[in-house]
Amino acid sequence: MNIKFVNECLTNIIWHENSSYQVDGLLQQSNQYYKFDIRYLNDFPEDKKGKLINSKSQADKVLFEDDENWVLVDTQELIKYMKEHSLKEIKLEELIKSIEWNIILPKK
């Protein structure tokens, strides 16, 4: 789990075990309360990294990251986009351009 994101960006934190999300809390800059999937990216064949997202996920937002930023995307919007376009995978850059709800936060 990405504890650094939690420490840098969330307040009023509640941890969860055995759930499709690992933490809920308030985003510091927006004061909105969400459930977050903060799992690290997994390694996949052909040197790809990513996350498997269950269509029944209870997480409100999914955390991705690059070297400089935390990237939050709306879970239901991500799932809907993937289903509508019959996709099994998508590059993060394409996802950010294709869905409405995303937040990019610079890492500290």
The per-residue pLDDT for range 45-61, each reduced to its tens digit, is 888 888 989 899 999 99
For residues 10 and 1, the answer to whether their CB atoms sit within 8 Å is: no
Q: Which of 59, 63, 74 is nearest to 41 (CA)?
A: 63
Report residue 17's pLDDT band, with 50, 70 and 90 as the boundaries: confident
Q: Which residue blocks in the chain are alpha helix, DSSP H?
A: 3-9, 75-84, 92-98
pTM for the full predicted model: 0.89
